Chain A
Amino acid sequence: MRTSDRLVVAAMVAIPTLAVLLLIWLPAVASVLLGFTRWEGIGGLDTIEWVGLTNYKNILTIYPPFFPALEHNLIALVFLFAVSAFGMFLAVLLDKELRGGRFYQTAYYLPVVLSLALTGFIWQLIYSRDQGLLNAVTGLTVDWYGDPKYNLWAVMVATGWQHAGYIMVLYLAGLKSVDPGLREAAAVDGANARATFFRVVLPVLRPVNLIILVVTVITSLRLFDLVWIVNKGRNGLELIAALVTQNIVGEASRIGFGSALATIMLLISSVFVIIYLNIELREDK
């Protein structure tokens, strides 16, 4: 390689890598480190005080929203898994010669192009206590977004409305990539449609299944926009992502404490990021 080419290659890799390292990986490491400190955020970096595991101890003992948030994230996870299964089911139904197949796909997929924040507003027309459709039809007087007994579920339904279409598209693409010869062979061997799907198609789609698993976990961990729109993640809508944000924007600026929460998020997600990398990069090895 010529020297000029070598310089060009170096620059082509170095600039983007530097951007990602500086804007993502460095902050990630900084979050982990700050999680062991106390810092009000006023004054310079020299006012940072090392406190060891105190923040983690406090999160577990004297920070009431933490366990509800954890529980809500778990509920979200289970709920979104069910939604993912439904999305996969739709994909299986649509993976045939079907009249109107395109219309169905478009209908399920349309919510995916909208932002979650917008989704929150659109569902407010259904959930509002005084003017919402749901109460008008059922005769109830529930504040679906406000009442801590119901609001998590209201938010979940709106989120699921969007999530199902996304999974449907991902899985449909997976199904279309299955070698038709496999199904024919199964049919020749006398397998019915159900057996073909569970014994042949599903095992072949193992990588896609795993990706859907990871996408679902990460989506449930990242849930933020909708609860922030509704009430900034309080009163029944505590989620870990919202707690992190509450601790840094607004009046209370508890940087060390917020960072410890952020680190917990990082830890959970890193498990699934590693699974994802294993699937995606395996072929290249």
Chain B
Amino acid sequence: MTAATDVTPRNRVASGPAARERLRHRPLTPARVVLHAFLLVTALMWLFPLAWALFNSFRDYDYTATHGYASIGGFTLSNYADAWERGNFTHTFLNSVYITVPAVILTLLLASCVAFVLARFSFKLNLTLLGVFIAANLLPPQSLLIPIYRAFRAVPLPEWLSDSGTLLNSYLGLVLINTAFQTGFCTFVLSNFMKALPRELYESAEVDGASVWRQYWQITMPLCRPALAALATLEVTWIYNEFFWATVLLQTGDKFPVTSSLNNLRGQFFVDYNLLSAGSMLVALPPIIVFFLLQKQFVSGLTLGATKG
């Protein structure tokens, strides 16, 4: 038994000055050199395509056309100005906002309502209901295209809501379909989160005579802030990146979100890759900024859904 006590448990998470000290003084064995070399090379390979696009987005087309892309020089900012103008980015970024912001808010609102009921009460159908929501999130969107497309075309909308007069080709249609698809994932994550909250909260609220709505809005929701922040981060990125529904449900160019507007930068007969790089960087910037600012929320949102227990 003494052997067991001799083994110092390896501290798995480096924290505190002691751990950092140990990290610094660990001998550099050949195995560690290989490990770091492998990780570094892979990491650089993974960063390369983005870095290459970034690099060429700052270069003049004529310069790269004469010197080839594997050269250095010809730096300019004009690709960004050109791309912004030709891709109509002011307009398409706003389109993305019109679709993403309402969809994320609506998704979180609907999902938190269902999740609250699922976590707070034990109805017989709870599990079935949760299954209906989760599975909806996993169906391939293309397999729903035909009925959605026909139904959206048949639903009339007043002029002030959609200038096309129908759900097809309207912001509202895209908001609705994105919301429906994302609600399942958020319901799942939130209901897990809410189930972990102490039940005594509700008992004392009941004693105070708080209504169900107040319990949801004033007790549960504030406590769910970390999960809501994580989900909001994730959903903003996902809906901003959504491509399929935007492509098929919007017919005219004036409502396309920024992701599908990159096609405007592809000429009919030749492609100015430097311009396209600049456009790509502009489109990539919002999710990258969100990622760096909210990296913790981003990763925890994903993992909240994937690794329960």
Chain A residues close to B by CB (< 8 Å): 1-2, 4-5, 8-9, 12-13, 15-17, 19-28, 30-31, 34, 41, 90, 93-94, 96-100, 103-104, 106-111, 113-118, 121-126, 128, 131-133, 136-137, 161, 164-166, 169-170, 173-174, 177, 180, 183-184, 187-188, 207-208, 211, 214, 218, 221-222, 224-225, 228-229, 240-241, 244-245, 248-249, 255, 258-259, 262-263, 265-266, 269, 272-273, 276-277, 280-281, 283-285
**Contacts A22-B180, A93-B39 supplied; 15 other A-B pairs, CB < 8 Å:** A9-B121, A27-B151, A96-B12, A97-B19, A107-B46, A109-B299, A113-B291, A113-B298, A114-B287, A125-B52, A165-B46, A183-B12, A218-B140, A240-B142, A241-B142
- A208 & B147 in contact (Cβ 8 Å cutoff): no
Q: How far is the CA of A27 from the CA of B136 in the complex (A)?
A: 11
In chain A, what residue has the closest Cβ to B133?
A20
- B306 & A12 in contact (Cβ 8 Å cutoff): no
A39 → B minimal CB distance (Å) = 9
B164 contacts the other chain (CB 8 A): no
Contact flag A34-B146 (CB < 8 Å), given A110-B46, A121-B276, A133-B52: yes
Listed residue (B143, B237, B248) with the most chain A CB atoms within 10 angstroms of its CB: B143
- B180 & A12 in contact (Cβ 8 Å cutoff): no
Q: Interface residues of B: mostly helix, strand, loop or mixed?
A: helix
A137 → B minimal CB distance (Å) = 7
Pick the contact of B273: A131, A211, A218, A284 (CB < 8 A).
Answer: A131
Q: How far is the CA of A17 from the CA of B130 in the complex (A)?
A: 10
Q: Which residues of chain A come closer than 8 Å to B46, judged between CB atoms? A: 107-108, 110-111, 161, 164-165
Q: Which residues of chain B come closer than 8 Å to A208, judged between CB atoms? A: 306-307
Chain B residues close to A by CB (< 8 Å): 3-4, 7, 9-14, 19, 22-23, 35-36, 38-40, 42-44, 46-47, 49-50, 52-53, 56, 64, 68-70, 110-111, 113-114, 116-117, 121, 126-127, 129-136, 138-151, 176-177, 179-181, 183-184, 187-188, 211-213, 216, 237, 240-244, 247-248, 259-260, 262-263, 271, 273, 276-277, 279-280, 283-284, 287-288, 290-291, 295, 298-299, 302-303, 306-309
- B139 & A269 in contact (Cβ 8 Å cutoff): yes
Q: Which residues of chain B come closer than 8 Å to A4, judged between CB atoms? A: 211
Contact flag A174-B136 (CB < 8 Å), given A27-B144, A111-B50, A225-B243: no
Contact flag A23-B211 (CB < 8 Å), given A125-B53, A133-B69: no
Q: How far is the CA of A214 from the CA of B135 in the complex (A)?
A: 12
Listed residue (A16, A136, A269) with the most chain B CB atoms within 10 angstroms of its CB: A16
Pick the contact of B23: A1, A97, A114, A126 (CB < 8 A).
Answer: A97
Q: List 29 A-B contacts (CB under 8 A).
A: A1-B212, A16-B133, A20-B133, A20-B183, A27-B146, A28-B139, A90-B42, A98-B35, A100-B36, A107-B43, A109-B291, A114-B284, A115-B241, A121-B276, A122-B284, A161-B46, A173-B299, A173-B307, A177-B309, A184-B7, A244-B146, A248-B146, A266-B139, A266-B143, A272-B138, A273-B138, A273-B139, A280-B134, A284-B126
B307 → A minimal CB distance (Å) = 5
10 closest cross-chain pairs (CB), A and B: A115-B241, A173-B303, A23-B180, A107-B43, A27-B147, A30-B147, A16-B110, A12-B113, A262-B143, A27-B144
Q: How far is the CA of A76 from the CA of B115 in the complex (A)?
A: 35
Q: Which residues of chain B come closer than 8 Å to A269, judged between CB atoms? A: 138-140, 143
Q: Which residues of chain A come closer than 8 Å to B144, judged between CB atoms? A: 24, 27-28, 31, 262
Q: Which residues of chain A come closer than 8 Å to B127, judged between CB atoms? A: 281, 284-285
- B49 & A180 in contact (Cβ 8 Å cutoff): no
